[in-house]
Structure 1
Amino acid sequence: MMINKMTFKEIVEARRSIRKFDTEHAFKHETVEKALRLALLSPNSSNLQTWEFYRVKSADKLKLLSEACLNQGAARTASEMVVFVSRQDLWKQRANWNAQQIKNKIGERTELTKREKRGIHYYESMMKLFYDNSLWPLNSIIRQLVLAWRVVNGKPMMRFTRRNDSKVVSNKSLAIAAQTFMLAMKDQDYDTCPMEGFDSVWVRKILNLPKSADVSIIVVCGKGLPEGVTNERLRLSYDEVVFDV
């Protein structure tokens, strides 16, 4: 397969959400791995990487997922599906991993830089303030008290007090990764469609995921057909949504 040599602008402009794929096309599955490896480089909150990506290639699993996706045309004709899953429940494991990366770089050195000290403190202590809900609602109350103290003292504070705030942050990171993935697929002359119309409980069962896993986005992939573009791309004007301040 000849790889397109499009500019980034051309890739962004060419990407469309395709509703029907060519089921006769000899899909190059290695393109999905290449795109996912690029998606792993996406920016994410505190580098916690509270995400998991599930590639679905087998015909049986694709059929089951298609049903879970309400039998939408894009799902029925996809060559692969990638399920983007939020694992905010793994925050502690990922925080410890980040702290260990800093310690690995320090090695046997006894004198730590301010940056290294801040990094270790951030991942080993500060993360607990924002993400630890093991004693909910007690920890939520503590976060609200810390926020109130800073507000009273005229200091800004991340308004990260509710139990579900970490879930929102994790899903923001997943959205960025999904966009990176879709652009990377288009760069390889393949098409995608991000889907929100699915039964998340069914998807968890099909993939054997724990209840703590949050199915965020399902991106279906394949060789798009011309009729897969079902409508004109319409966007609000630049001046309606962009403001200089």
Structure 2
Amino acid sequence: MKRVSITDIEHDSWAPGIPQHTTAGKIELGAIHGVLPFNGRRNPITPSSISHKVSFTYRTAANSWRLRVGFAESGAEYAAGLQALIATTIHDVEFQPVEITYLCPMTSRTRQHTIDIRLTFRSGLRRLLFVRNRHSLTKPQTEAEIATIRSAAQESHGHELHVVDADAFSRPRRDNLRRMYWYIIEEPDPVTDEIVLDTAQHLHTLWLISDLQKAIALPRGRVMKSCLRLIGRRQLQADPDAVICEHSRIWRPEP
């Protein structure tokens, strides 16, 4: 039998590259009983091997603390939302809330930009968040794009636009925020929080969270959850870029 070399095969009869497949498209989430639907302008949830898309439920005072579906285009965007959700000054958090039409400074063409997050403060102030990774934020074209979007934003969209460095949300910080949100919003325990905070303020040997667990006659897990709530509300402090556990250093905020 004659041996056939790869060079003898007609190049038109085989495909050396990765076959191209049609994309699966956006992932649509159906109605969930008892949960308010996603109310953003754009659904960013698509299959991706690069970015970390997140779908979740959350509560705000604006929704009478009812669960609502939220979509975030990245883990950092989700973390920025969680950070706002646990803040006592925030009334509402919206994901992908509005589209802003602007003239691209690079191509001189009209483009649409969907705002990542909109915060509504209890004072009535509405703040738009532009979340982007640090490398992108250093590029002149990104700076020009942000300036153009800020100029194109109308008062109906929001009162101000803030830029958020996505790289500031390390993986441990994201995990800490996720747990803080859950224990603050879904598992509140004001009685335990009062006990833990009072003990922390008077315990002279306070160094680790485990010191509080030893000093308080409550289950260690209950004290741990309380510490996360107090840290999330900034009544106690810890390193947010290290996973907070019973061995974490904890301290009282400066007066």
Same fold (TM over 0.5): no
Return the TM-score normalized by structure 2.
0.25
The structure with more helix, counted as a fraction of residues: 1
> Which structure exhibits the higher relative contact order, with contacts defined as CA atoms closer than 8 Å and separated by 6 or more residues?
1
Higher strand share: 2
TM-score when scaled to structure 1?
0.25
